[in-house]
Amino acid sequence: MGVLSRRRSLLIKLVVIVSTAWFTIAFLLYSEDRTDRGIALSLQNNPVNREARELQHDSNLLEPANPFKNDDDENPKANLQEPRKEDDGGVLLPPQNLPGELGKPVVLPTNLSAEVKKMVDDGWLKNAFNQYVSDMISVHRSLPDPRDEWCKKPNRYLTKLPATSVIICFHNEAWSILLRTVHSVLDRSPKHLIKEVVLVDDFSDMSHLKQQLEDYWKSEPRVKIVRAKKREGLIRARLLGAREASGPVLTYLDSHCECTDGWLEPLLDRIARDPTTVVCPVIDVIDDTTLEYHWRDSSGVNVGGFDWNLQFNWHAVPDKEKKKHENSAEPVWSPTMAGGLFSIDKKFFEKLGTYDSGFDIWGGENLELSFKTWMCGGTLEIVPCSHVGHIFRKRSPYKWRSGVNVLRRNSVRLAEVWLDEYAKYYYQRIGNDKGDFGDITARRKLRDDLNCKSFKWYLDNIYPELFVPGDAVANGEFRNLGHGGKTCLDSPARKSDLHKPAGLYPCHRQGGNQYWMYSKTGEIRRDEACLDYSGQEVILYPCHGSKGNQYWEYDEESKLLRHGSSDKCLGINASKTKLIMEQCNNNSNNQRWTLENYDSSKLNK
């Protein structure tokens, strides 16, 4: 226990606080860009390295020399570095002291002139990330190679791989970011594997995305630009891109990404071996302020899940999945996909009905594609050898009519078509108010025609870690039998109550803060809060499904609650005010508990 787990929990605490703040901001502001929100939690993989930033402060970064402006500027490309080509066409390694090379952070001096400061602020306002810093960085900048050695072994991948069409949808994206995204695809992929890059302009009005963009790519025939005739939103823009794509595999990226060396082959390899495999790269974080590229090795990979609000979330790779692989760099099954970064066989995508789910604008599309993939005969994987960086914005910079109702409408459609008898758990969360969710006959017919499996099959086989409220082994009060036997486990379990010691209170039989569930995997929980012990206090902590600190084994005979990683037992102190962990002793009433409605037949065998 001790230092390591304390460090881990400190780190995770920090990350959770940061992401909570992000989410609060994201929810306050309406946002079209679901992808950004959806995958923001992958930051858990990539704690921001503040030290690196601070070190950079005393580097001799000059005030940026008139970086080209982004929009409505006479000569916006003035400061763009041309690709540094060698005679044989190879790209020369850029000098490492240029800003942002090797994915290093660019930190602006604090004493910027008023004029520059205004440019920096304008960049943030327009893009919700530091456009000024992005403009200082080469659109061909070098990146670290985040791959494990294992990924680079010869003959790792099939020699004959299918080519892909890379589809990048954008709306009023910053010039340097969009170009860097496209160049990172072209510069870091074998030429014959990129059938084309389809840029889908979702009705932007910034001038640099018009003729200037056409001119820039005139000499690169593999880049196609497709324009929506009105504002379509992410889903219909992606559909538009798919219709224009001619490659056998579709790869969707966001317009503020950077692909790293060798990102593409491991994705295409999985699809070549089995075209029903849908693959996602590991999504690394590009810092929105410094554009630093953060990454971790493949041991830090998380997989996607969701909760009963039908919100995407991350969780650790389950142990049983880890055991399947001899190497942590091998692809892992993921119950859901994080965001809009994935590759799929085009024919399989079409068979699944693509994105054409009658969803509005955004929201829920990645969960739908995930459920559909798994239930209708496919596999969804995260491929640790493939790394793509992504800027997570804290808000969407775009105006868009949108909000809660669009999201709810999509989620209700999702629940109606795919969730079977489990839909009730989502409806409980929204006060059973489904609203108008449109016609779903065609979607149900698609599911029938494809002979898709049940949602129960999906939960049992692909996402057994999801806590299904109806499956609890016990629910109600958890009463301690010591010191008179009138003390119950009692704590609120909202987000703000997490990371704090769990409490005790005289039993009141009113539910509320004394209502707990004992899950079939041995958690003591309410909603997403789990009783957790890592060597000090017994606290509530976000449930992580990986046992260890959150695993409690209840023995109906002795009535002891034995803790997984410490092998101690849960008890209460003599004044009945504090949960304590002690050497297990079945003669001591203060370690004995009754769990209401305990039904051992529901236990995971």
Q: Which is nearer to ligand NAG, 3 or 62 (CB)?
A: 62
Q: How far is CA 153 from CA 262, 264, 276, 376, in A?
A: 12, 15, 25, 34
* Residues 6+ positions from 460 with CB-CB distance below 8 Å: none
Q: Quote the least distance from Cβ 580 to ligand NAG, whole Å.
A: 8
With CB under 6 A as the contact rule, which of the stretches 106-114, 350-358, 427-435, 507-515 interacts with ligand NAG?
106-114
- For Cα atoms 230, 228, 72, give the angle at the middle one, nearest 5 degrees: 85
With CB under 6 A as the contact rule, which of the stretches 286-294, 333-341, 487-495, 571-579 interacts with ligand NAG?
571-579
Q: Which is nearer to ligand NAG, 404 or 574 (CB)?
A: 574
> How big is the chain, counted in residues?
605
**Interface residue with ligand NAG, options 212, 289, 558, 566 (CB under 6 A):** 558
Q: Which is nearer to ligand NAG, 424 or 578 (CB)?
A: 578
Q: Which is nearer to ligand NAG, 188 or 578 (CB)?
A: 578
The answer to whether residue 577 forms part of the interface with ligand NAG (CB under 6 A) is: yes
Q: Which is nearer to ligand NAG, 67 or 233 (CB)?
A: 67
Alpha helices, DSSP H only, in 104-174? 114-127, 131-136
With CB under 6 A as the contact rule, which of the stretches 85-93, 144-152, 160-168, 570-578 interacts with ligand NAG?
570-578
The answer to whether residue 575 forms part of the interface with ligand NAG (CB under 6 A) is: yes
The answer to whether residue 113 forms part of the interface with ligand NAG (CB under 6 A) is: yes
Q: In 3D, which of 591, 554, 585, 542 has the Cα closest to residue 570? A: 591
Q: Quote the least distance from Cβ 482 to ligand NAG, whole Å.
A: 12
How many CB atoms sit inside 10 A of residue 424's CB?
Answer: 15
Give the residues across from 476 on adjacent strands.
516
How many CB atoms sit inside 10 A of residue 551's CB?
Answer: 19
Q: Quote the least distance from Cβ 232 to ligand NAG, whole Å.
A: 44
> What are the E-state strand segments in 482-586?
487-490, 503-506, 516-518, 524-526, 529-533, 538-542, 552-554, 561-563, 569-572, 579-582
**Interface residue with ligand NAG, options 97, 111, 432, 441 (CB under 6 A):** 111
SS3 361: coil
| Cα–Cα distance, 358 to 375 (Å, whole number) | 19
The answer to whether residue 470 forms part of the interface with ligand NAG (CB under 6 A) is: no
Q: Quote the least distance from Cβ 85 to ligand NAG, whole Å.
A: 35
| Cα–Cα distance, 462 to 306 (Å, whole number) | 12
The answer to whether residue 573 forms part of the interface with ligand NAG (CB under 6 A) is: yes
Q: Which is nearer to ligand NAG, 54 or 215 (CB)?
A: 54
Tokens of 149: 């050695």
Residues in contact with ligand NAG, counted by CB under 6 A, come to a total of: 12
**Interface residue with ligand NAG, options 94, 578, 594, 603 (CB under 6 A):** 578
Q: Which residues bind ligand NAG (CB under 6 A)?
A: 63, 109, 111, 113, 557-558, 573-575, 577-578, 586
